[in-house]
Amino acid sequence: MREVSPTELLEQLQEMVEVLAAPVLVQTSWLTAREYPVDELWLQFFDSVPGWLPRLTDAGVVTPNALGALNDLSRHLVTLTESQNPAVFTREGLATANVWEQVRAAAQTALVQMAPSRR
């Protein structure tokens, strides 16, 4: 099996972050198309990113600023799990919970920092 290159990993990471940064309607459409529950938005990030970041950083495809923005996004996602409010992981919660707005804002910042012109 071919090893995934750092550039390919970065593209996959950007796709994940794009979904987290997207407006609620885009997020719900993404979830519906895949028949995923709301918590899949953060699960995909945490299932992949902690293992990928060292490799991406070592390969020089993630700058220190992008790394900082991704860590900030990660902290916001942790806040979701720590909220102990199951309503946060409903479609209504996705649309109304302030913590999701914070996640979207942090994801948008991460996307800006991950942009090719920033590397």
Is 110 part of any domain?
yes
Note the pLDDT of residue 117.
52
Is 74 part of any domain?
yes
Is 51 part of any domain?
yes
Residue-by-residue pLDDT tens, the chain, 119 positions = 888 899 999 999 999 999 999 999 999 999 999 999 999 999 999 888 888 899 999 999 999 999 999 999 999 999 888 878 889 999 999 999 999 999 999 999 999 999 875 55
Across 44-74, b (16+ Cβ under 10 Å) vs e yields: bbeeebeebbeebbeeebbeeebbebbebbb
Is 87 part of any domain?
yes
Q: How far apart are CA 38 and CA 20, in angstroms?
A: 11
Which among 82, 84, 89 has a CA at the least distance from the CA of 38? 89
Is 1 part of any domain?
no
- How many separate domains does the chain show? 1
Q: How far apart are CA 95 and CA 104, in angstroms?
A: 11
Is 83 part of any domain?
yes
Residue with tokens 């529950």: 37
Is 89 part of any domain?
yes
Domain with 112 in it: 6-118
User: What pTM was estimated for this model as a whole?
Assistant: 0.92
Return the H-helix or E-strand segment holding 83.
none
Q: How far apart are CA 64 and CA 113, in angstroms?
A: 9
Is 34 part of any domain?
yes
Q: How far apart are CA 42 and CA 74, in angstroms?
A: 9
Note the pLDDT of residue 75.
94
